[in-house]
Homo-oligomer: A and B are copies of this chain.
Amino acid sequence: MTQPRFVFQHLTSDGAARLGVISLKRGDIRTPAFMPVGTAGTVKAIMPEDVAATGADIILGNTYHLMLRPGADRMERLGGLHKFMDWSGPILTDSGGYQVMSLTDLRTMTEEGVTFASHIDGSRHLISPETSMKIQCQLGSDIIMAFDECTPYPATHEEAAKSMALSMRWAKRSRTAFDSHTGHAAQAALFGIQQGSMFEDLRQRSTDALTEIGFDGYAVGGLAVGEGHEEMLRVLDFSAPMLPQDRPRYLMGVGKPPDLVEAVARGIDMFDCVLPTRSARNGQAFTWRGPVNLKNARHRDDTRPLDADCASAASTRFSRAYLHHLIRCGEILGAMLLTQHNLRFYQDLMAAMRQHIQAQTFEAFRADFHERYNGGDIPPL
């Protein structure tokens, strides 16, 4: 069966929560979907087949990191990102804009794009809608993100309007540049990114501009930038429903497990976040009873599993005492086990949400989830 370039099937809804499938050349993505982040050509501390085994249908690659190392021309010569990292499923790449602004110094933003100095060797680079599209095509990305400015938080209405307007002009240029790569454009999808900070009128103007250009999917950008859980949900309350019903909606850079549940409840279909993988390397595990810090001495003699309701190796084959020992000793195996566990937990959470949307029991699941997640870890032995 030949896979289409891009099809989104919205299978059913339960309230505003949506169940769907995105079909791409390299495979299907069950939504709501969580995309593990593979910053520099690897989801950190885990083999690609083990990422797939957690239930992930798609991963994310960072254009900024990959354009610097190994470099976009080199990646193209080497056969693209999928082959490079041995991941045969879909990959979404970000545009590079967010990381240029957060990781580099000496950057200059103009109408043309952003000139910056590499955080690795100080070399000068330009990233613009045109170069971002070209690089994402060279990487061989399946879902390419428009180049935008993630509006800094907080922003005044005027600042947010100006930033959003620039992002919309860049969105148009991204669309044109993407379409000019006719070979890759026939194989991949292009998503636009809604901006407008915390302002409903700007989010609406941004949505109007994006839908007039036309994209395969739409992301909500400029959230998870320090505004907090409640404010993010307030903005999502009006931002998500504006976006076209028949296209996937992607909330960028989110988030904690309760964020995911609440965003799905507001109609979001896709997420990405470094939290499960980064936290793992710091000794923090996610469980159905909330986060667990395995560095804590309370786990030192605890023979019980990390999470009796998770089928990860960390929870089925090892004790909390062992995980604590590995984290305390700085052992790489600790990062490996918790990465696998956290990604498994995130995928289990997405699978549970999909099942409950299908069964029209999402509201009950949502309430149960929060009660249990906020109820705290099992008492110490």
A-to-B contact residues, CB < 8 Å:
40-42, 44-47, 69-70, 74, 77-79, 84-86, 281, 300-301, 303, 313, 317-319, 321-322, 325-326, 328-329, 331-333, 335-336
Closest chain-B Cβ to A52's Cβ sits at a distance in Å of 13
Q: When chains A and B are docked, how far (Å) is the Cα of A329 from the Cα of B84? A: 15
Q: When chains A and B are docked, how far (Å) is the Cα of A325 from the Cα of B85? A: 10
Closest to A326 in B: B42
Q: When chains A and B are docked, how far (Å) is the Cα of A46 from the Cα of B46? A: 10
The answer to whether A333 and B301 have CB atoms under 8 Å apart is no
Which residues of chain B have C-beta atoms less than 8 A from A331's C-beta?
A: 40-42, 44
Task: Given A74-B301, A300-B70, A326-B42, check contact A84 B335 (CB 8 Å).
Answer: no
Which residues of chain B have C-beta atoms less than 8 A from A325's C-beta?
A: 40-41, 69-70, 84
Q: When chains A and B are docked, how far (Å) is the Cα of A43 from the Cα of B318? A: 15
Interface pairs A-B: 9 shortest CB-CB? A45-B332, A42-B333, A86-B317, A70-B325, A40-B329, A42-B331, A84-B322, A78-B321, A44-B332
Closest to A40 in B: B329
Task: Given A70-B300, A78-B303, check contact A86 B318 (CB 8 Å).
Answer: yes
The answer to whether A47 and B313 have CB atoms under 8 Å apart is yes
Q: List 10 other contacts, CB 8 Å, given A70-B325, A78-B321.
A: A40-B325, A45-B332, A46-B333, A69-B328, A70-B321, A74-B321, A78-B319, A79-B303, A84-B322, A281-B332
Which residues of chain B have C-beta atoms less than 8 A from A303's C-beta?
A: 78-79
The answer to whether B84 and A321 have CB atoms under 8 Å apart is yes
Q: When chains A and B are docked, how far (Å) is the Cα of A322 from the Cα of B69? A: 11
Closest to A329 in B: B40
Closest to A333 in B: B42
Residue from the set A46, A303, A329 with the largest chain B CB neighbour count within 10 Å: A329
The answer to whether A332 and B335 have CB atoms under 8 Å apart is yes
The answer to whether B301 and A77 have CB atoms under 8 Å apart is yes
Q: When chains A and B are docked, how far (Å) is the Cα of A326 from the Cα of B38? A: 12
Closest chain-B Cβ to A83's Cβ sits at a distance in Å of 8
Q: When chains A and B are docked, how far (Å) is the Cα of A192 from the Cα of B79? A: 55
